[in-house]
Amino acid sequence: MIALVLIIIAVGGAAWWIVFRNLPDKLIRPRRTTREYWEAKGGYLTPSDMEMRYDDMVIHTKDGLKLVGWFVPGAGVNAKKTIVLMHGIGGSRINMIPTAKIFNEAGYNIFLFDSRAAGESEGEFCTHGYYEKYDLQAVIDALCEREEVDSAHIGLLGISMGGSIALQTAPIEPRIRCIIAESVYTSLNEVTGDYLKHFIGFNSKILHDTAIQVAEKEAHFQIEDIAPIEALKHINIPVLFIHGSNDELVKAKYSELLCGAYNGTRELYIVKGAGHNDLRKVGGDEYNRRRLDFFERYL
């Protein structure tokens, strides 16, 4: 009997921890990967480490936060065209530096920035696009004040959460010309069920809904509003959906569903054998060529 009680207490304690702390924190308080984090891992820390000159920029959001970013000027025929790079959850502008190099070598202006509650930017909570879509509008406002930027030629490339934010911003931001959305989900509500199953081995609607309610209350947002598949109903710009076939965190089926639901100009590229974080490594030259070709045609 005592053993049974102890088991019940242990299971109950684990469920409480998942519902009230672990899953909500993973959603709204992801780890911050600052310069110190990347320095400890080695590798590139600024665009100059990959021989790109850059300017520091600070973006002021509508609700008073400061977001930090780097503007890397382009050259040649694409010098007035600008690509905004958007990292995924738990990432920062630093891990987008190699991507910036690829497109900057093709002549594009590049802007890399830390989203709210990420990297060196201000903010306590990550809301997956609920507030970030307005942050991205502020980014575009600031970029359009620069003489190097043509407001008619602004494209977005977002990874996972960054791609979700890009798609959610497009309906309210007409200056976005085209989007590359990599490893994106259809809705945050649906993919959090996958996360829960990944953590505890099964998906419980009660645990899921309770954890979501905790996150919503703390970060002051509505998860039902975070649905890229709904945003697609309100845009008509070219979108390239990219996904790894072996992605265990955000299933490839989500990009297939997004592409199938979109009525605008769309392309789908499944990188065979790739997971969630190794598209560039597995996709190699073909992966880079597809992305460059997309922006060459539509940006």
| Domains assigned to the chain | 1-30+188-220 (no CATH), 32-187+226-298 (3.40.50.1820)
Q: Which two tokens stand for residue 254?
A: 């989500």
Give the model's pLDDT for residue 50. Answer: 96
Residue 195 is predicted with a pLDDT of 74
**Chain centre distance of CA 94:** 14
- As a whole number of Å, the CA-based R_g of the chain is 20
Please report the pLDDT score of residue 205 as a whole number.
Answer: 80
Q: Give whole-number Cα distances, 16 to 26, 125, 145, 214, 240, in Å.
A: 15, 21, 49, 12, 40
- Residue 194: its pLDDT value, please? 80
**For the segment 199-242, what is each residue's pLDDT rounded down to a tens digit?**
666 567 888 888 899 999 999 999 999 999 999 999 999 999 99
pLDDT at 256: 98
Given a contact cutoff of 8 angstroms between Cβ atoms, the answer to whether 271 and 287 are in contact is: yes
Q: What is the pLDDT at residue 72?
A: 98
Q: pLDDT tens digits, the chain, 299 residues: what are they? A: 554 433 444 344 444 444 556 778 888 999 999 889 898 888 899 999 999 999 999 999 999 999 999 999 999 999 999 999 999 999 999 999 999 999 999 999 999 999 999 999 999 999 999 999 999 999 999 999 999 999 999 999 999 999 999 999 999 999 999 999 999 999 999 998 887 766 666 567 888 888 899 999 999 999 999 999 999 999 999 999 999 999 999 999 999 999 999 999 999 999 999 999 999 999 999 999 999 999 999 99
What pLDDT is recorded for position 284?
A: 96
